[in-house]
Structure formats: structure tokens, C-alpha cells
Chain A
Amino acid sequence: MLRVELRKRRGDFTLETAFSAPTPGVTAIFGRSGCGKSTLISLIAGLLTPDSGRVAVGDDVWYDSERHLSVDTRHRRMGVVFQDARLFPHLSVRANLEYGLRRLPITAERPMKFDDVVSLLGLATLIARRTHELSGGERQRVALGRALLAQPRLLLLDEPLASLDLARREDVLPYLEKLRDHFTLPIVYVSHQFDEVLRLATRVVLLDAGRVVAEGDIATMSRDSHLRTIVGPDSVGAVVAGVVEHVDMAGLAIVRVGDATLILELDGATAGQRIQIQVLARDVIVATEAPRWLSVRNVVPARVVSVRPDVGRSVLVELDIGRTATLLARITQRASAELALTSDKPVWALIKAVSLRGHVFNAPAR
């Protein structure tokens, strides 16, 4: 568990944050560009000195202004992956990977074995190469491997995909998912892309103008009003956790979410897998009667929790689908009025199977 409480002033910008990141799990630090995310990473890493506060991983205190304690970056034993990979250009891929490993104290435990990390990150064919022969995605994988082989107690990922185009992101994201499910260490993932956060994170810390404005598990945070203003109206949607019940003949996954079952396409799904599904608010239709003869695959009984004004002439309807699972639907004010939507009203939520996007979490998610 990483516990952070930091203050730092730079010019007229003040960073004042407190949050924690559990072990294992991915905690996303999410916010707009310039909200202080990268500064926060530098402060946790000790590359910048805070004005005051405390940073601790488990029982190890790395920084405590009250005790005038500050462990040098190089003794903190954390892996940092930067946006620009920062591979050493004069060293081979192998020498880059071994850089931190070779500098470990003799007594340090080495749970991350060279061969394991190489096979987990698919680096076997890259090892003999020079760094300038690698693609952007390969560079980030080598940087990840280098950080892991330094046997870190915490992994800090500072927008590792931001410098890659969309296609190249797929060269790295599956490996990040494997890493999350494979190792028991806290991972802090900084990003301003909510779709990445959705795929990787179990917890979200929302940062705005240097302050933590909200913090919680991803399902709760997906309905947070601060988050809505940051991701923009088109990306607003509930994230729900579910378990794959089975995969039907047509290859569609049947997933239990709350009291409901959702049908969606999910490559490589197998029964028993835990997944997270994002249901965009603009993709949810609300009906007061169960419709028939529609192509829509998911017709889920629900109960209206609240109806709140949203951007423009629309409202945001919160729908309870059982066992604390909640969906959001954005509909027009007029539709809401015609259906007379009020709290506790039983309704149906209609969601096209093809509009659902699910991500597999193998490890027990929190």
C-alpha cells in the first residue's frame, strides 16, 4: 500500500494531495493536462522535493517532512516508466534491462526473474537489438521490463502510452494488463485518457488543479460529477463489474452484472472471468414498458435512482440494476417528462450489445 500526502508550490501553482494506492492493483491518477499529475509522480519518486508531507510504501517511509526524512530516489526501489521511455541510447536492450538489476544491494530479494519478465513482456526477440532499432511500443515494453527487473516495491507509470499513436498503444496495453494481473505490487498509473484508465485501473484518483477532487473504485468514480466534467459529455458512462457466465454459440459473452445479465462481444472471454464494462450514458435507452421486436440485445429491468440536469437539454438518469450496480442514461428533458421519470420508478434499460466494451481482469479486482 502506497500512502501519499504532499504539498508543493511552484510559482502560482499549488499541488496539495493525499491518496493511497492498494497492493495489488492499479490506481489511476486521472486529470486534465497540467493538473499536476507528472509533478506528483516526480514528488513520489523523489526527483522533486516536496514542501511538506509524507510518502510511505508499506512500513517504509520515503519522505516525512515532520521527521526531516527523505530517502534518496536511488534507494527508494521503485520502478518508474516515463512517457518518453528514456532508454539509454548507448546501451543494448539487454544492458538497459539489466541496468537496475545490477545495481541492487546484494541482500535484496529478487522475485522478478530476468527470463520471466522477458517472456511476460515479449522481449525475447528484442534483447540483442540496440535501442534505436525499436518501435515506440517496443521501447515502452523495454522500459517496463527495466523498471520491473530493478525489483521495485512500487511501479509508477507516467503516461506510458501518451507518446504512442492508437495502433501502437495496442502493442503495450495487453502487457500492462498482464503485468497488473501477474505481480502483487501497487501500480500508480498516470493518464489523461479515460479509456486507458478503464482498461487498467481498479481505483481512480481524480486530480484537478493540483488537488484530489474525488477518489474511489472505478465503478463509483465513473458516476462522479467531477469526472463527468473532465471526460466530456460523450465519454460519460457507468462502469460496472461483472462475471462471465458463459459464451454462447454465436460467440457472445453472457455476463452477470448486479441482478441483470448483459450480452456483449468480448474476444477471448471464458466463463468465470471478471470483467469491467463501460456503458456510455448516451447509448442507454430508457423504456417504461418492455419492448418487443427490437434488435437491441440487452433489455434490463431497472429502477430510477435520480434524474439530474445534464449538459444542454438533456438529463442524466441514474438506474439501479441490483446489488449496487448502477447505470447512467442520458436522455432529453422532454423524453424524461413524457415518461414521467421519478425516483423509484421501475423502468427498462435498453443497451445494444455492440455498444458495450468489456475488459478482462484476471486477478481478483477490488
Chain B
Amino acid sequence: MMLSPAESDALWLSLSVAARSVLFNLPFAILVAWLLTRTRFAGRTLFDAFVHLPLVLPPVVVGYLLLVLFGVRGPVGSWLYQNFGIQLAFTSTGAALATAVMSFPLVVRAIRLSLENVDHGLEDAARTLGAGPFDRFASITLPLIAPGILAGAVTAFAAGLGEFGAVITFASNIPGETRTLPLALYTALQTPDGDMLAARLAIISLSLGLAGLLVSEVLSRAIGRRLGRDRVR
């Protein structure tokens, strides 16, 4: 199947937005997952709920809140624009940000699950062998939660390919900039004679999703082997 320029634009844009959203996500998700599993602080439950908010909010609401905060006239958006010349609203970076916020709880959940499974005893052992807190995290905890991080990243990437509501609200539907696959499909459906295009875009989305799932399965098996999961647990 040959892709038209508009179709391949939408495809590459989707891949790039989803990939960037994962990159945005990971450092914060690891930090938040760590805070939620390893620390006790006042308001932890509220913080936990806040992190999970995008799962239950309509995506349009998330997009709207982002617009209020990061829009050109929003408090964060105007500061970013004035000091760094960065504009998020109506750009592909903004689309990536909206996608990242939507998939954030999924990544946190995956990392948190694997963090809870890490044996504290191993970190204690590293400590008796002279490793400081950051060293322990980097040399022991991080490699052990790698499967969780990977699972979270793959899920976020796959979910990010399909993010619609938050993206269209915050970043609008600009061809070549923020018109990702679902937005292109929606646009095609709004256009007379767009049925064929919509079907083709749907097939592209489907193949992409399937490929993503296969890759994640292969990766997680490889990591499992590396960690000796077959015998240790």
C-alpha cells in the first residue's frame, strides 16, 4: 500500500508525537512512582489521585486545562514564550505534551508495580557494599524495574498514537504540525468522499498497533531472560 503525502505526514507525526510524549513522561513517571512506593508524606493519597486524574477526566477537559496553563496567554505558556521563545499550544511539541499528560498514569502504574516487586533486601545488600542512595538506584533498582519501565513506555507509546481529545483541544488540528493519525481520520470522515481515506488511515493505525504489541512482547521476553526470571521468580 503506497501512502499519499498527507497519509505519511500523519503517520510520521503520530510516531513522533507518541515517541516524544514517552520521553517527556519517563523521568517524571519514574520519580512519581518512586515517591508513591518508597516515601510517606502528608497528602500522598491526594497526590496519588491527582496523578490518576487523566484516566477519569474527559480528554477534552485535560486539553482545556493545558490550554489554560500552557496557552500563549496562560501563566506557564506566556512565561515559556517570553523567556525561551517556546510555544506549546498549536505545535507538535504541544501535541506531545498533551499526549504525555494523558498517558502519564499508565506509565506510573507500570513502573510502580515493578518497583513494588523489587526486593528491598537487594538495596540493603548494595548499601552494605558501599553504594550510596543514587548509586543504589542506578545500579540496582533501575535495572530491576527496567521491564516495568519498558512496559510503561510501550503502553504509553501505543496509547499516544491514538490520543485524540486532548491533542485536538490543546494543539488543534493543523496539517503537518498536529494532525496525527486519529485527527486525520476524523478530518477525513468530516470531508465528503473521505470514506476511502478514512479506511486506509484505520488500516495504518491497526497495523501500527499490532506491530507495537509484537515489539513489546519480544522486548519484555528478552529482558526477562536477562534477569533470569525463568528461575529466580
Which residues of A does B touch, CB under 8 Å? 45, 47, 73-80, 82, 84, 86, 88-90, 99-100, 103-104, 130-133, 146-147, 150
Contacts and interface: CB of A to CB of B under 8 A. Distances in A.
Given A86-B119, A86-B122, A73 B127 contact: yes
Given A74-B131, A74-B132, A99-B129, A89 B232 contact: yes
A279 to B, nearest CB: 38
A47 B122 contact: no
A45 B128 contact: yes
Nearest to A84: B121
B128 A131 contact: no
Nearest to A85: B125
Interface string B128-141: 11111001000110
A89 B121 contact: no
Contacts of B130: 74-75, 77, 100, 103-104, 150
Interface in B190-233: 226-228, 230-232
Contacts of A76: 128
A82 B121 contact: yes
21 contacts: A45-B128, A47-B127, A74-B129, A76-B128, A78-B128, A82-B121, A82-B125, A84-B121, A86-B119, A86-B122, A88-B126, A90-B227, A100-B129, A103-B129, A103-B130, A103-B131, A104-B130, A130-B228, A133-B228, A146-B129, A150-B130
B159 interface: no
B144 interface: yes
A99 B139 CA distance: 10
B211 to A, nearest CB: 28
Given A89-B228, A90-B227, A132-B231, A150 B127 contact: no
Given A73-B128, A88-B125, A103-B131, 19 more contacts: A45-B128, A47-B124, A73-B127, A74-B130, A74-B131, A74-B132, A84-B121, A89-B122, A89-B227, A90-B227, A99-B126, A100-B129, A100-B130, A131-B232, A132-B228, A132-B231, A133-B228, A146-B129, A147-B129
A68 B186 CA distance: 67
Contacts of B146: 90
Contacts of A47: 124, 127-128
Contacts, number: 69
Interface of B: 119, 121-122, 124-132, 135, 139-140, 143-144, 146, 226-228, 230-232
B220 to A, nearest CB: 15
A212 to B, nearest CB: 24
Contacts of A73: 124, 127-128
Contacts of A74: 127-132
A89 B231 CA distance: 10
A80 B226 contact: no
A366 B137 CA distance: 43
Given A130-B228, A132-B228, A90 B143 contact: yes
B128 A80 contact: yes
Contacts of A150: 128-130
B60 to A, nearest CB: 43
Contacts of B228: 89, 130-133
Nearest to B119: A86
